[in-house]
């Protein structure tokens, strides 16, 4: 069962769980290399937080944050026997262009090519891969509204959106086999919407493209873990949501997702390895006795 782990490298001061930890290039590069050693197939580098209510970052500042990291990782990873790809998490074409020039080969655009009219043409001309994500509104507005975001049927609406953006990307010259789709867990959704998307993920898998899942350390996981509310640190930050991250990624694997965007690569890699072996029709590696 083939799947890929996308390790998150946030080069930001305000990301919801690790903001400021890897803001300088040497720290971010070291963190990226650590994630690669833990089993990441892709390193997703971002210089602008997309947490709810996050302030926008201008393109020059975003480039200042991410380009030295991408260049450094590209150089450091070039001698590794197993290839590790670099992804740039941006919705700005100018940032994506510089990132692709520095060694990135995948553009992860949370606006699905809607924010910058130059993005689709840039990705097509570069022959890069791209990830198209569903998000209602912007990171600044996506969770607003009385009672939170509302959908008649969240899976149907997300599926229609992804179909439309896939069609648009292909019409702009992006090769269909280079496109990944992300339902945008936590982006303009309530906890109930997130769970429904995970439960009915097979309906999105039916679109025939790799499905990216990004539940890592998100707040709805902490809210669901009610049995642990009295444990030390249970109500803490994103690092306390690892159990929920693992559970949702294993479930998503069973339902057909193939790319998992996570902060904690090593434990998720181990969990997915066991899950994949359980789901496989082939025998486990020889030498296993119990």
What is each CA distance from 34 to 71, 249, 262, in whole angstroms? 16, 21, 13
Q: Which of 136, 165, 218, 241 is catalytic?
A: 218
> What local confidence, expressed as pLDDT, does residue 269 receive?
98
Residue 55: pLDDT band with limits 50, 70, 90:
confident
SS3 state of residue 238? helix
What is each CA distance from 198 to 121, 186, 193, in whole angstroms? 32, 11, 9
Share of the chain above pLDDT 90, in %: 74
Cβ partners under 8 Å of residue 148, min gap 6: 190
Cβ partners under 8 Å of residue 197, min gap 6: 154, 155, 158, 183, 185, 189, 204
Phi, psi of 182 (to 5 degrees): -130, 120
Look at residue 226 and tell me if it is in a domain: no
Q: What is the pTM of this model?
A: 0.89
Tell whether the model's pLDDT for residue 290 goes beyond 80: no
Look at residue 90 and tell me if it is in a domain: yes
Pairing status of strand 42-46 against strand 179-182: unpaired
**Mean pLDDT score of the chain:** 88
- Better-scored residue on pLDDT, 204 or 233: 204
| 218 classed as catalytic | yes
Residues of the domain holding 43: 4-214
Sign of CA dihedral 95, 98, 104, 106: positive
Look at residue 260 and tell me if it is in a domain: no
Look at residue 264 and tell me if it is in a domain: no
| 261 classed as catalytic | yes
Q: What is the mean pLDDT of residues 100-127?
A: 98
Q: Which of 65, 200, 217, 261 is catalytic?
A: 261
Look at residue 170 and tell me if it is in a domain: yes
Q: What is the mean pLDDT of residues 212-241?
A: 69
> What local confidence, expressed as pLDDT, does residue 235 receive?
44
Cα–Cα distance for residue pair 186/52, rounded to 1 Å: 9
Look at residue 284 and tell me if it is in a domain: no
Look at residue 289 and tell me if it is in a domain: no
Tell whether the model's pLDDT for residue 240 goes beyond 70: no
> What local confidence, expressed as pLDDT, does residue 252 receive?
98
> What local confidence, expressed as pLDDT, does residue 233 receive?
43
Tokens found for residue 141: 């507005």
Cβ partners under 8 Å of residue 55, min gap 6: 14, 49, 140
- For 170, left (φ over 0), alpha (ψ -120 to 50), or beta? alpha
- Number of structural domains the chain divides into: 1
SS3 state of residue 271? helix
193-207 pLDDT tens trace: 999 999 999 999 999
CATH number, domain with residue 88: 3.20.20.20
18-32 pLDDT tens trace: 545 666 899 999 999
Look at residue 278 and tell me if it is in a domain: no
């Amino acid at each position: 069962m083939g799947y890929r782990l996308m390790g998150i490298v946030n080069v930001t001061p305000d990301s919801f769980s690790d903001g400021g930890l890897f803001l300088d290039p040497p720290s971010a590069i070291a963190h990226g290399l650590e994630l690669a050693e833990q089993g990441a197939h892709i390193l997703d580098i971002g210089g602008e937080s997309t947490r709810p209510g996050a302030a926008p970052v201008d393109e020059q500042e975003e480039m200042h944050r991410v380009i030295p990291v991408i260049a450094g990782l590209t150089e450091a990873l070039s001698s590794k026997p197993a290839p590790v790809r670099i992804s740039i998490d941006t919705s700005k074409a100018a940032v994506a262009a510089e990132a692709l020039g520095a060694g990135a080969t995948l553009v992860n655009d949370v606006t699905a090519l809607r924010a910058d009219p130059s993005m689709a043409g840039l990705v097509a001309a570069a022959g890069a891969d791209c990830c198209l994500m569903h998000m209602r509104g912007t990171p600044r507005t996506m969770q607003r509204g009385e009672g939170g975001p509302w959908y008649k049927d969240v899976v149907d609406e997300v599926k229609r959106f992804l179909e439309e953006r896939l069609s648009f990307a292909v019409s702009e010259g992006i090769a269909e086999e280079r496109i990944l789709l992300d339902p945008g867990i936590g982006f303009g959704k309530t906890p109930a919407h997130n769970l429904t998307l995970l439960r009915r993920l097979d309906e999105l898998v039916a679109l025939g493209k790799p499905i990216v899942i990004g539940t890592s350390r998100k707040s709805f996981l902490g809210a669901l873990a009610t049995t642990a509310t009295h444990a030390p640190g249970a109500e803490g930050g994103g690092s306390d949501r690892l159990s929920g991250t693992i559970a949702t990624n294993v479930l998503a694997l069973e339902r057909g997702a193939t790319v998992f965007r996570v902060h904690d690569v090593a434990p998720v890699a181990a969990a997915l390895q066991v899950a994949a072996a359980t789901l496989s029709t082939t025998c486990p590696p020889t030498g296993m006795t119990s």
